[in-house]
Amino acid sequence: MGRFSDRVAIVTGAGAPAGIGFAVARGLAAEGARVVLGATSDRVHDRAAEVTAATGSDAVGVAADLTTEAGAQALVDAAVQRWGRVDVLVNNAGMTSVTAGWDAEEQVTDLTLAGWEAALARNLTTAFLMCRAVVPVMRAAGYGRIVSVGSTTGTTNAMPGQATYTAAKAGLNGLSRALALEVVAEGVTVNVVAPGYVATGSQLAFEQAAAAAGPAGRSGTPDEIAACVLFLAHESASFVSGAVLVADGGHGLPETWPVA
């Protein structure tokens, strides 16, 4: 019997095989949860099959655009129709700019309104829509755990050329804290895990160098971040709500590593 036996979970942004979302989905399933994996492409069906094969737990993939109300509702409906409820929501969908890096084109003075709105949509609106869709289900059950994967960017620091991503992740913290106050008396907790540099296979060269220069001397792993998510997603974390758990290997601590 695992920690999440008989629980039903939704994990968004779970389509990348080396990503945090897939690690979370696999971790929940290994502990007994039945899991809906969400992503924007059909590769999520492969991830769901891999979760089932590796853990024996029932998992289903749903390809949906979570920047739309219909897409968010589709994930919740998939869980409710298949298993009758949703106990855990992990908001992991999101990404940095498609031209991520120290790119002058992404500086605030050069951003287009369309670019700004698109970044907020994929990094913040996705979480808002998923929360809005799942909270009524959790309220009716008198139980729920919502954990969003944020970032140290927007929480403890910022990156040049990533104002939209930074603003969205800071907004995710605010959304989570406000929602936490609205639902905690009904048995639903809302928290954020804010990772630092994590080796997901899409890590940029400057991120790898910065992580190597930090106090831990390395990037984190998706499984290490998943462990933090699973802690907050468990029923035992019932008195933790509105919190932001930073997982960055001490990278953000002042005066712990040299800054070039």
Order of strands, sheet of 188-195, starting from the edge strand that comes earlier in the sequence: 59-63, 34-39, 8-11, 88-91, 144-149, 188-195, 244-247
| Whether the predicted pLDDT of 99 surpasses 60 | no
Of 91-105, 114-128, 179-193, 237-251, which gets the smallest average pLDDT?
91-105
The H-or-E segment that residue 51 falls in is: helix 43-55
For 71-88, what is each residue's pLDDT tens digit?
999 999 999 999 999 999
Looking at residue 1, its pLDDT comes to 73
Architecture of domain 8-247: 3-Layer(aba) Sandwich (3.40)
pLDDT in tens, 30-45: 999 999 999 999 999 9
Provide the 10 A C-beta neighbour count for residue 166: 21
Specify whether 143 is catalytic: no
The pLDDT value recorded for residue 100 is 43
74, 182, 219, 223 from 35: Cα distances, Å: 14, 26, 27, 17
Total Cβ atoms within 10 A of residue 6: 12
E strand or H helix at 5:
none
Where is pLDDT greater, at 252 or 61? 61
- Tell me what pLDDT residue 206 has: 80
For 102-133, the DSSP string reads S-GGGSGGG--HHHHHHHHIIIIIHHHHHHHH
Instruction: Tell me which of 83, 143, 165, 197 is the catalytic residue.
Output: 165
Tokens of 85: 């409820």
* Predicted pLDDT at 254: 63
**146-173 pLDDT, tens per residue?**
999 999 999 999 888 889 999 999 999 9
234 membership: H or E segment, kind and range: none
The rounded distance, in Å, linking the Cα atoms of 83 and 96 is 33
How far apart are alpha carbons 135 and 189 in whole angstroms? 10
- pLDDT higher than threshold 80 for residue 103: no
